Amino acid sequence: MSLLIRDARVVTAAGPPGIRRGVAMRAIGAVDRADVLVRGDAIESIVHRGGLKAPPDAKTIDARGRVLLPGFVDCHTHACWAGDRLDEWEAKLRGETYLDTIRRGAGIMATVRAVRAASESELAERLAERLERALRLGTTTIEVKSGYGLTTPDELKMLRAIRLAAGAWRGTVVPTACIGHAIDPDVPRGDFIRRTIEEMLPAVSAEFPGIAIDAYCEDGAWTVEECVRLFEAAAERGHPCRVHADQFTRLGMTEEAVRRGFASVDHLEASGRDVFEAIAASRTAAVLLPGSGFHLDGRYASGRQLVDAGAAVALATNWNPGSAPCGSVPMAIALGVRMCGLSVAEAVCAATVNGAGVLGLRDRGVIAPGARADLVLLRHTDERALAWEFGMDAVDAVVCGGEIAIG
């Protein structure tokens, strides 16, 4: 089966293999009035308009000059959950801070209780609905974390639910075991940390070998020392590591992550220029999550300083019921440009090829011969309109693995 997309403004994001750093993030390679031929699940060729003859079996999409982008790669979400956090949101509107919510045993723990009460199939069904919503917004690859179970059976239940929902979705789901997400207040802290490292981690490793391990280092959550213990044990078992750090408080976890070569450090709202320069000098990527600043407290990581320092920057939604109830990558791009200081080109790179790089995927995030045919056709003829507009439906069609999924 073939697919021919005619007369598109193709934003290829093509370049040297791998994640882009610093000024290289600006080179998104827009080609006006081009045709893209897809065979099977891969891109075969890109030529100037009219240079390709449609194969006999090809479906054809007439782009009419509209922008064709690589499918969005949302590299940080907590999209598997049960229940809601509307009461917490109302408390926030009355002045309660996010850390205050955590300290009084609400926040994440409210979702933990709802997830524990839900079955695997219920969690999978709810996630499947969210995945379809993300697809309509242009997301073709999405990372989904566990982290709302906090016991070995419940974390495994979440990971199995993510796997179950992924199997029925037309896009790609990359699971992450965020087993260091919160501290269960009903278990003595020392016992909880020990069980997570000595019981939960081996169980996750046995059923999901090679899965990324994640933790949340923050006041009221995991300390730097506790995170290091978890990540050292994870590395011994061959797991890549990611960490939430410097969201509200700079505790030193970002420096540890950089020194240990983590795949990413995510949040960074409380980081300073010295931290950004350390990230830039490392192989660790910075993942910006501006949806949290928009929903919580108006604080945003400086993407501008990170890019200018030469760092690899990715942009994601952080979709979750508490701090970022938004699964729209276009909205994240709009915020990344307005609030994090990224250019439109940098934001597009951050949400495509660099998101794929954070997840260790080298076959997507670009429009180039041989790349996976995950594509988004916008209703705009200028890619800058994707960031200029917000809260609107920017997507006309979505292609996943060479198949038209939306449109």
Instruction: Note the pLDDT of residue 105.
Output: 64
Residue 106: pLDDT over 80:
no
Instruction: Based on the fold, state whether residues 114 and 13 are members of the same structural domain.
Output: no
Residue 99's pLDDT band, with cuts at 50, 70 and 90, is confident
CATH number at residue 62: 2.30.40.10
Give CA–CA dist 138/327, Å, rounded.
10
Residue 87: pLDDT over 90:
no
Instruction: Based on the fold, state whether residues 227 and 273 are members of the same structural domain.
Output: yes
Instruction: Based on the fold, state whether residues 227 and 317 are members of the same structural domain.
Output: yes
Give CA–CA dist 69/9, Å, rounded.
9
Instruction: Based on the fold, state whether residues 37 and 78 are members of the same structural domain.
Output: no
Instruction: Based on the fold, state whether residues 258 and 345 are members of the same structural domain.
Output: yes
**Residues of the chain with pLDDT > 90: what percent?**
90
Instruction: Based on the fold, state whether residues 87 and 54 are members of the same structural domain.
Output: no
pLDDT in tens, 215-232: 999 998 999 999 999 999
pLDDT in tens, 26-53: 999 999 999 999 999 999 999 988 777 7
Instruction: Based on the fold, state whether residues 66 and 77 are members of the same structural domain.
Output: no
Give CA–CA dist 287/214, Å, rounded.
13
Number of domains in the chain: 2
Residue 103: pLDDT over 90:
no
Give CA–CA dist 319/291, Å, rounded.
8
**Would the pTM of this model clear 0.85, i.e. be above it?**
yes
Element (H, E) at 74: strand 72-74
Residue 100's pLDDT band, with cuts at 50, 70 and 90, is confident
Instruction: Based on the fold, state whether residues 78 and 64 are members of the same structural domain.
Output: no
- DSSP secondary structure string, 88-107? HHHHHHTT--HHHHHHTT-T
Print the domain residue range for 116.
73-358
Instruction: Note the pLDDT of residue 56.
Output: 85
Instruction: Based on the fold, state whether residues 45 and 180 are members of the same structural domain.
Output: no
Q: How many CB atoms lie within 10 A of CB 311?
A: 23
Which pair of structure tokens corresponds to residue 184?
């269960």
CATH number at residue 225: 3.20.20.140
Alpha helices in 73-209 (DSSP H): 86-93, 98-103, 108-117, 120-136, 152-167, 189-195, 201-207
Residue 305: pLDDT over 70:
yes
User: What mean pLDDT value characterizes the chain?
Assistant: 96
pLDDT in tens, 350-403: 999 999 999 999 999 999 999 999 999 999 999 999 999 999 999 999 999 999
Interacting residues of 344 by C-beta distance below 8 A, sequence separation 6+: 333, 337, 383, 384, 386, 387
Interacting residues of 22 by C-beta distance below 8 A, sequence separation 6+: 280, 307, 308, 309, 310, 311
Give CA–CA dist 101/323, Å, rounded.
11
